[in-house]
């Protein structure tokens, strides 16, 4: 049995006046997704329990079949796993965004999509100016990731971390175009996080990277934003839980980390950017090739989520159409060459264009293939899924349905 999962991140949304009262999924021309629904089932699933963050860290954990109430320990530890950073029992990982704040407004949570090379230089300055302070006893390390997505590691064996699971922080992408006043970290250790964030303002003020960026008309990285902290999770191997051996295709560290912790291989695709300019066709080609070597291939595409964060409904529709034509369609055609197969399409969470943020709620799930008896659904969409008889209020249980009866 061959399995394919396609994750159009943040695709679920509300009806849009600019789209004639349709949601982006309803407005997009997605013949391959619609055909998959007609040959299978349309369901709804909630991957973001109301008592947990409505983000990709929770949503994708659930989508891959892990109960987030049992396994979720924070976003940053998942991204640390993606980079091969081992966390000891006393260590903490903290997500470290490079952001642009102007007049106390979160102007851009990506610092105008700052380059990785620029991020490396800025974080190097913070390592010298802040982390090397004697008060931290060598416990802190700023670790560059990709673009604005970076990490802060606290080594607890050098200095006990002041944090706990009660420490709260707000994702910067939830604050786009909003005031940051009153949105700083709270709870145990918040004073340390806030001090580091404030210290970065001075360190970046006249930094050469920002001077050059300003000369090119780019927004500066005004400071860091610390959030999503946690300790190392312990996931049971996916193959032990569900059977198939998996591989992940994604440009996002969070998904790479989940894959690593689940025991999946990670496949790097040239041209995969984690943004709307990603090479969709390359992802499709690499996924088809991976099917020859793996039981299950998961393709994650960040583009719809990024379009929502920017409030760009037309970019979101365009991304969904590219996913359909260049990933879903060729994969469905390739699967027809195997004796037995199943395919699932599911976002991890809704991301509303109206608010530019992730939100709790159901997402549409399409499943088809060997052993899945078709229902009466005719198209893949938000409101059609809301009326579906098949529902997974505990979204993580959808994986059992998807893989049931096909283990080897």
- Taking only the tens place, the pLDDT of each residue in 196-211 is 999 999 999 999 999 9
**Size (the chain), residues:** 408
Q: What is the pTM of this model?
A: 0.87
Phi, psi angle pair for 17, to nearest 5°: -60, -40
- 168 Cβ contact partners less than 8 Å away, ≥ 6 residues apart: 185, 186, 187, 190
Q: Give the pLDDT of residue 381.
A: 97
Which pairing describes strands 246-249 and 296-301: parallel, antiparallel, or unpaired? parallel
Residue 219 has pLDDT above 90, yes or no: yes
Closest by CA to 390, choosing from 10, 25, 43, 98, is 43
Residue 286 has pLDDT above 60, yes or no: yes
Closest by CA to 126, choosing from 102, 148, 143, is 143
Q: Domains plus CATH for the chain? A: 2-72+236-403 (3.40.720.10), 92-230 (no CATH)
Task: Give dist(CA 247, CA 331) in Å, integer.
Answer: 15
pLDDT bucket at 146, cuts 50 / 70 / 90: confident
Closest by CA to 77, choosing from 265, 262, 186, 233, is 233
Bigger pLDDT: 165 vs 265: 265
Whether the CA torsion 30, 297, 335, 38 is positive or negative: it is negative
Q: What percent of the chain is modeled with pLDDT above 70?
A: 99
Task: Give dist(CA 307, CA 243) in Å, integer.
Answer: 35
pLDDT bucket at 347, cuts 50 / 70 / 90: very high
- How far, in whole angstroms, is CA 35 from its chain's centroid? 27
Q: Give the pLDDT of residue 405.
A: 47
Note whether 284 and 300 are within 8 A (CB): no
pLDDT bucket at 404, cuts 50 / 70 / 90: confident
Element counts in the chain: helices (H) and strands (E): 16, 15
Q: Give the pLDDT of residue 406.
A: 36
Q: Give the pLDDT of residue 408.
A: 34
Average model confidence (pLDDT) across the chain: 96
Q: Give the pLDDT of residue 362.
A: 98
Q: Give the pLDDT of residue 270.
A: 97
Q: Give the pLDDT of residue 407.
A: 38
Closest by CA to 65, choosing from 263, 313, 291, 209, is 263
Task: Read off the pLDDT of each residue in 338-345 and give the average, rounded to a whole number.
Answer: 97
The two structure tokens encoding residue 153 = 């590691």
- How far, in whole angstroms, is CA 217 from its chain's centroid? 29
Residue 17 has pLDDT above 80, yes or no: yes
- What is the dihedral angle through the alpha carbons of 170, 171, 172, 176, rounded to the nearest 10 degrees? -90
How far CA 88 is from CA of 48, 58, 152, 157, 194, in Å, comes to 28, 22, 14, 8, 24
How far CA 153 is from CA of 165, 188, 232, 249, in Å, comes to 16, 17, 12, 26
Task: Give dist(CA 67, CA 241) in Å, integer.
Answer: 12
The two structure tokens encoding residue 214 = 């300003």
Task: Read off the pLDDT of each residue in 86-104 and give the average, rounded to a whole number.
Answer: 97
Task: Give dist(CA 367, CA 241) in Å, integer.
Answer: 20
């Amino acid at each position: 049995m061959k399995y394919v999962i396609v994750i159009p991140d943040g695709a679920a949304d509300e009806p849009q006046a600019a789209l004639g009262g349709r949601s982006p999924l309803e407005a997009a021309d997605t013949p391959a997704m619609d055909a998959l629904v007609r040959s299978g089932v349309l369901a709804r699933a909630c991957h973001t329990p109301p008592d947990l963050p409505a983000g990709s860290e929770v949503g994708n954990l659930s989508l891959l079949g892990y109960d987030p109430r049992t396994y979720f320990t924070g976003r940053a530890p998942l991204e640390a796993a993606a980079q091969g950073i081992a966390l000891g029992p006393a260590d903490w990982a903290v997500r470290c965004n490079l952001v642009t704040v102007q007049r106390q407004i979160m102007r851009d949570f990506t610092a105008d999509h700052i380059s990785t090379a620029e991020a490396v230089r800025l974080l190097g300055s913070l390592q010298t100016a802040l982390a090397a302070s004697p008060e931290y006893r060598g416990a802190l390390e700023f670790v560059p990731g990709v673009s604005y997505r970076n990490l802060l590691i606290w080594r607890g064996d050098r200095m006990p971390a002041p944090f706990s699971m009660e420490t709260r922080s707000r994702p910067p992408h939830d604050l786009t175009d909003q005031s940051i006043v009153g949105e700083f970290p709270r709870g145990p250790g918040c004073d340390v996080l806030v001090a580091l964030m404030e210290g970065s303002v001075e360190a970046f003020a006249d930094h050469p990277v920002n001077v050059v960026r300003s000369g090119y008309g780019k927004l500066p990285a005004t400071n860091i934003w610390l959030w999503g902290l946690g300790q190392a999770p312990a996931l049971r191997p996916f193959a032990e839980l569900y059977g198939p051996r998996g591989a992940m295709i994604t440009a996002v560290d969070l998904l790479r980390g989940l894959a690593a912790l689940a025991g999946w291989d990670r496949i790097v695709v040239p041209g995969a950017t984690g943004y709307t300019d990603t090479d969709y066709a390359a992802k499709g080609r690499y996924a088809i090739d991976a099917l020859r070597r793996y039981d299950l291939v998961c393709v994650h595409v960040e583009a719809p989520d990024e379009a929502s964060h920017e409030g760009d409904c037309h970019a979101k529709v365009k991304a969904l159409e590219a996913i359909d034509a260049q990933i879903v369609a060729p994969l469905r055609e390739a699967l027809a060459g195997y004796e037995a197969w199943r395919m699932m399409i599911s976002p991890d969470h809704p991301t509303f264009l109206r608010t530019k943020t992730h939100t709790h709620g159901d997402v549409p799930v399409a499943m088809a293939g060997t052993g899945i008896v078709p229902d009466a659904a005719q198209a893949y969409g938000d409101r059609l899924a809301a009326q579906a008889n098949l529902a997974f209020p505990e979204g993580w249980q959808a994986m059992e349905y998807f893989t049931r009866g096909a283990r080897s």
